[in-house]
Structure 1
Amino acid sequence: MTASSLKPSRSLFRLPGFLSVMDRYIIGELILPFLFGVGAFSSLGVSVGALFELIRRVTESGLPLSIALQVLSLRFPEFIAYAFPMSTLLATLMTYSRLSSDSELIALKASGVSVVRLMVPALIVCLAVTGLTFAFNELIVPAANYRATITLARALDEEDPPFQENNILFQEFQSVKQEDGDRRDELTRLFYAREFDGQQMKALTILDFTQEGLSQIVSAKAAQWNTAQKTWDFSEGTIYVVSPDGAFRNIVKFDNQQLQLPRTPLDLASRRRDYNEMNIAQSMDYLQVLQQSGDTDKIRKLKVRIQQKYALPFVCVSFGLVGAALGASLERAGKATGFAISIVIIFSYYLLAVVSGSIAQVGTIPPVVGAWLPNIFGLVAAIWLIRRSSR
């Protein structure tokens, strides 16, 4: 058997003509196991992650079956996106192990095709699935998850108001140069409102540190954001001007007063989507709001999630190359063996992803390292397996 005798007749899909016969043949062999994996893994994921909970809601909370089915359909895109990397691993592992057990890889190697060259079709499929995964996670999954959350909450009368009702706290920081030349973030303003009804902040207290020492305290009954003039309109309040030594220098009472303060407290009080309900652009917008608040824990967590949104699609490349290299070295591995190996690799990857992500969220390692570390390990493992198969 030679490389020229391979024909892509078994493929049900037409592939680009610029690919070689060998490439089209192997890619054609990869497609059906990949589709099988998408169906199997997404069905398993939605059953564990959504179906059982919805059944409980139907039986215990009286959720209408039609709403449950609607929510289930809206949750499917998320699990399909999760299934893409896993299906890539399964497809490459099963396809290359079958080619090895049927001695087709031996024939190709005897024709002068290197192991690295044999990995090219797998890499092409991996890159295509990476783009597909990224598109799903950005264009479909966040909107579908958000719609599922709103639909379920409305059906159960558990929908939260579209804003934070109590205890709105905003801390504004400014980078200040120290005597040693280093820069450090220092608190310049603290904004607190006890209540928010969607339009007005109520029972406000603002501490202003923009000058040396505490320079101003504002206490007001209510405040509302003025969209036209981009200021806050305060009502029924008092301004306390404080000297650097702590003595009151002046006290001014007012019925109505406009103050030039950031809009950020209103942004913080507005209801935000969950991390899985935002795409990268929405997450970056929210990050800008959080950075003005100075909440380092939330900022770090969001930075890790943003990097994970970039890293997740590229795990398809790591999984695909690992599966291809490992499958090429398994001469008599059946489908059950390939599926079992895939489960072990997937579990190991996601365990490492959870651990590294958690370490990054506490600040031990940078967010980019915590998000991309599992992918790096996967690529290193793939390179090692390919070099081992080339010997």
Structure 2
Amino acid sequence: LFLSKLIPILDIILDYNINFADFIRLYAYFTPQLLLFALPMSSMMGVMLGTTQINNENELMVLKASGISLYRMLPPVILVALCTALLTGLFSIYLIPSGNRAKLDLAFQLAKEKIERSMHEKRFSESLGNIVLYADRIDQQTETWNGVYISDMRDSMHPVTIISETGIVSADSTTGTLSISLRNGTLNRNTSNAVQTIDFEQYEMILPLETPSTNPLAKTGKSTMNQSELLAEADRLGRNTQAAASYLNEFHERLALPVSCFILTLLGFPLGFLSGPRHKTVGIPLGLAIFILYYVLLTGATTASESLFMPASVAMWLPNIIFFVLTTLFIRSVAGERYTVYMEKFHDLTYAVLNKLRKREGESK
């Protein structure tokens, strides 16, 4: 989970050669995304491990003998679940969109700095591939180039040559452009039959920038929008259209994830008591399987909503409804001590499957 998020950071560090301060900023922007899925899992597993330890040391029997029921032990777990749910909501609704917008600004700033670092006085720069840059003098204070020469070979059939007195690189994350503002110069464009010459006082040359698919920093769209912007875009596209489904999914998913954190944390409470002398570690793998199952259901709900099979307001909340019912059943079963029979059957079934797999593996050898 963490490695899949850290790999884009490594690509950015190697590509842009960023300094330590930018690395700290970049990591801070990525941290909410790293914790969005790790926090619910760690909260559920923490509660589960705690109750497993209580059960394994027979403390549950002592508590019940003292007249303390399972339901009286729930309030601290509910408090932990509520705190982690609020923290998850802070990440999903506020910090992640803000971090994505900040990453976008940083992407253009790093691209701008990369071009500026490649420029040296009286030296040609080929850092932009088919665009060759040259500056006779560079003012380090104003970051202005003087005596600028540009050869644009992106269209090999119609190359463009630009000569201007001054130029300055500017980045605008709002419009998604990186450009060089040129003043007082001449543009020459070669065509098949002639050369076009244009004198200009000001000319804005748009520079090529990595697309969102190749630059993990420069991703735009719904990931940078807040909740009101998502609804506004869905209204603009028409809420019943397929184009608006992804925006509505994002809106409801940000709200559903904190609730799922609350439910999964509560679910860890009864799962911890599903251990015993014969199956001490059943609760932990079962908890991991249930956690994975939730996100499989969430992925299926997203697909169903985007295909307009069901509304986003229903699809994105359906996994939470299913797991809320499941959590309620588990808690009631554990509180009524009806879980032992089911766990014995589950334990025997698990061992039967494992034994069959071992026998098949032995026969194949």
Compute the TM-score of the two structures, normalised by the length of structure 1.
Answer: 0.54
Kindly indicate whether the alpha-carbon contact (under 8 Å) linking 1:78 and 1:145 is maintained by their aligned counterparts in 2.
no
Identity over aligned residues, as a percent?
Answer: 22
Q: Show the counterpart of 1:379.
A: 324
Q: Secondary structure at the match of 2:17?
A: coil
Which of 274, 295, 310 is matched with 2:221 structurally? Answer: 274
Shift of 1:330: 1.5
Which of 61, 81, 86 is matched with 1:126 structurally? Answer: 81
- Give 1:104's aligned amino acid: E
Kindly indicate whether the alpha-carbon contact (under 8 Å) linking 1:94 and 1:335 is maintained by their aligned counterparts in 2.
no
Which of 55, 61, 65 is matched with 1:106 structurally? Answer: 61
Task: Report the Cα distance in structure 2 between the residues aligned to 1:63 and 1:304, rounded to whole angstroms.
Answer: 36
Bigger CA drift: 328-337 or 128-137? 328-337
Task: Report the Cα distance in structure 2 between the residues aligned to 1:56 and 1:339, rounded to whole angstroms.
Answer: 35
1:48 counterpart = 2:4: yes
1:63 counterpart = 2:75: no
Shift of 1:108: 1.5
Task: Report the Cα distance in structure 2 between the residues aligned to 1:358 and 1:160, rounded to whole angstroms.
Answer: 34
Which of 93, 96, 103 is matched with 2:48 structurally? Answer: 93
Q: Show the counterpart of 1:135.
A: 90
Q: Show the counterpart of 1:298.
A: 243
Change (3 A) 1:281 1:334: farther
- Give 1:286's aligned amino acid: E
Q: How does 1:160-199 map to 2 (within 5 A)?
A: 162-163=174-175
**1:102-157 CA deviation, whole Å, 9 max, x = no partner?**
11111112222222333332122212222222223233221112101321243135
Kindly indicate whether the alpha-carbon contact (under 8 Å) linking 1:63 and 1:155 is maintained by their aligned counterparts in 2.
no
Unaligned 5+ runs, structure 2: 115-170, 178-217, 338-365
Task: Report the Cα distance in structure 1 between the residues aligned to 2:322 and 2:278, rounded to whole angstroms.
Answer: 24
Task: Report the Cα distance in structure 1 between the residues aligned to 2:28 and 2:322, rounded to whole angstroms.
Answer: 34
Q: Show the counterpart of 1:75.
A: 30
Shift of 1:314: 0.4
Change (3 A) 1:57 1:354: same
Q: Secondary structure at the match of 2:317?
A: helix
Task: Report the Cα distance in structure 2 between the residues aligned to 1:385 and 1:58, rounded to whole angstroms.
Answer: 47
Shift of 1:273: 4.8
**1:234-277 CA deviation, whole Å, 9 max, x = no partner?**
xxxxxxxxxxxxxxxxxxxxxxxxxxxxxxxxxxxxx9953232
Shift of 1:71: 1.4
- Give 2:105's aligned amino acid: I
Q: Show the counterpart of 1:355.
A: 300
Task: Report the Cα distance in structure 1 between the residues aligned to 2:69 and 2:300, rounded to whole angstroms.
Answer: 37
Q: Secondary structure at the match of 1:119?
A: helix
- Give 1:363's aligned amino acid: L
- Give 1:138's aligned amino acid: I
Task: Report the Cα distance in structure 2 between the residues aligned to 1:337 and 1:63, rounded to whole angstroms.
Answer: 47
Q: Show the counterpart of 1:286.
A: 233
Change (3 A) 1:94 1:73: same
What value does the CA root-mean-square deviation take over the aligned residues? 3.1
Kindly indicate whether the alpha-carbon contact (under 8 Å) linking 2:45 and 2:284 is maintained by their aligned counterparts in 1.
yes
Q: Secondary structure at the match of 1:112?
A: coil
Task: Report the Cα distance in structure 2 between the residues aligned to 1:317 and 1:334, rounded to whole angstroms.
Answer: 27
- Give 2:270's aligned amino acid: A
Task: Report the Cα distance in structure 1 between the residues aligned to 2:278 and 2:87, rounded to whole angstroms.
Answer: 29
Q: How does 1:229-240 map to 2 (within 5 A)?
A: none
Task: Report the Cα distance in structure 1 between the residues aligned to 2:220 and 2:280, rounded to whole angstroms.
Answer: 41
Change (3 A) 1:89 1:57: same
**1:211-255 CA deviation, whole Å, 9 max, x = no partner?**
xxxxxxxxxxxxxxxxxxxxxxxxxxxxxxxxxxxxxxxxxxxxx
Shift of 1:68: 3.9
Change (3 A) 1:338 1:154: farther
**1:339-362 CA deviation, whole Å, 9 max, x = no partner?**
544432222211111111111111
1:370 counterpart = 2:315: yes
1:343 counterpart = 2:288: yes
1:316 counterpart = 2:261: yes
Task: Report the Cα distance in structure 1 between the residues aligned to 2:230 and 2:23, rounded to whole angstroms.
Answer: 28
- Give 2:58's aligned amino acid: S
Kindly indicate whether the alpha-carbon contact (under 8 Å) linking 2:263 and 2:320 is maintained by their aligned counterparts in 1.
yes
Shift of 1:93: 0.6
Kindly indicate whether the alpha-carbon contact (under 8 Å) linking 1:97 and 1:332 is maintained by their aligned counterparts in 2.
no
Task: Report the Cα distance in structure 2 between the residues aligned to 1:150 and 1:338, rounded to whole angstroms.
Answer: 45
Task: Report the Cα distance in structure 1 between the residues aligned to 2:26 and 2:73, rounded to whole angstroms.
Answer: 43
Kindly indicate whether the alpha-carbon contact (under 8 Å) linking 2:93 and 2:255 is maintained by their aligned counterparts in 1.
no
Q: Secondary structure at the match of 1:156?
A: helix
Kindly indicate whether the alpha-carbon contact (under 8 Å) linking 1:101 and 1:333 is maintained by their aligned counterparts in 2.
no
Change (3 A) 1:126 1:334: farther
Compute the TM-score of the two structures, normalised by the length of structure 2.
Answer: 0.58
Kindly indicate whether the alpha-carbon contact (under 8 Å) linking 2:56 and 2:280 is maintained by their aligned counterparts in 1.
no
Kindly indicate whether the alpha-carbon contact (under 8 Å) linking 2:272 and 2:284 is maintained by their aligned counterparts in 1.
no
Task: Report the Cα distance in structure 2 between the residues aligned to 1:333 and 1:290, rounded to whole angstroms.
Answer: 57
- Give 2:233's aligned amino acid: Y
Unaligned 5+ runs, structure 1: 1-43, 166-270
Kindly indicate whether the alpha-carbon contact (under 8 Å) linking 1:63 and 1:156 is maintained by their aligned counterparts in 2.
no
Task: Report the Cα distance in structure 2 between the residues aligned to 1:155 and 1:132, rounded to whole angstroms.
Answer: 31
